Amino acid sequence: MPTDTPQPKFVLVRPQMGENIGAAARAMWNFGLDRMCVVAPRDGWPNPNAVAMASGAGRLLDEAQLSPDLPAALSDCTYVFATTARPRELTKPVFSPEGAMKKAAQLIANGEKVAVLFGPERAGLENDDVARANAIITVPVNPAFASLNLAQCVLLMGYEWRRQIEQVPEEVFELGKADWATGQDVEALVAHYEDRLTEAGFFFPPEKAEGMKTVFRNLWSRMRLTRADVQLLHGVMRQMVRWKNSGTD
């Protein structure tokens, strides 16, 4: 059975290739979506090519709703989006993928049943299909090559849906097994380098030494170091001093 997670139904209208249906199922399951409806597939149903392509998402195909036509597929829906790249002579609101899935999330949260239509691979949705939708979704693609593969379009909508229902940080930093260096760790590292560089005559001439040290310290503060980084840099300086004192050319 499909999960209980509130979500839109993805409706594949007259899909032509089983491989694309399977790839669409896989794309849906990547983002936790499992409400698939297949409308009048060209090569019949079930389709072994779809199963092979779905990989670990075969369950979606087993549980997919099979409808003879679009009205039957949309019989339980209260709001419908149609994905299309072609201009239409129809007066409808046009959403970006992000805006559409934001509205879908709001509607579903209010108890409505939402569907997203995806057209067949050759030419996409027909005007009669789009006329049954409440709104259009258009992807800002290259106008000279606007056609998206069926599974690509499903993947894009699934991604935007996931963004609406889950907090996704814009950036995370994986520390692995390391910890961030503390202020004390960095101070000890700076002192180590300043002492050795002073001995080497780096801070010259004397009247510019304090300014150079300030710039040098500022360099360290711009870097976020881990304790492993600090230990490595201490080791680098120790080895350089050993090498110099050994008299090696």
Contacts 24+ apart (CB under 8 A), 225-230: 225/180, 225/181, 225/185, 225/186, 225/189, 226/175, 226/178, 226/179, 226/180, 226/181, 227/178, 227/179, 227/180, 227/181, 227/182, 227/185, 228/178, 229/178, 229/181, 230/181, 230/185, 230/186, 230/188, 230/189
Architecture of the structural domain at 9-165: 3-Layer(aba) Sandwich (3.40)
Which of 113-117, 168-172, 212-216, 239-243 has maximum average pLDDT? 113-117
Q: How buried is 210 (Cβ within 10 angstroms: 0-12 exposed, 13-18 middle, 19+ buried)?
A: exposed
User: In Å, how far are 157, 166, 172, 173, 212 from 169, measured between CA atoms?
Assistant: 19, 10, 7, 10, 38
Strand-pair partners of 226: 180
CA 11 to chain centre: 22
pTM above threshold 0.85: no
Give the pLDDT confidence of 41-94 residue by residue, as tens digits. 999 999 999 999 998 999 999 999 999 999 999 999 999 999 998 767 789 999
Model confidence over 222-246: pLDDT tens digits? 988 999 999 999 999 999 999 988 8
Decide: 60 and 34 in contact? Cβ < 8 Å: yes
* Tens-place pLDDT, residues 100-140: 999 999 999 999 999 999 999 888 899 999 999 999 999 98
Token pair for 212: 């150079």
Domain ranges of the chain: 9-165, 183-245
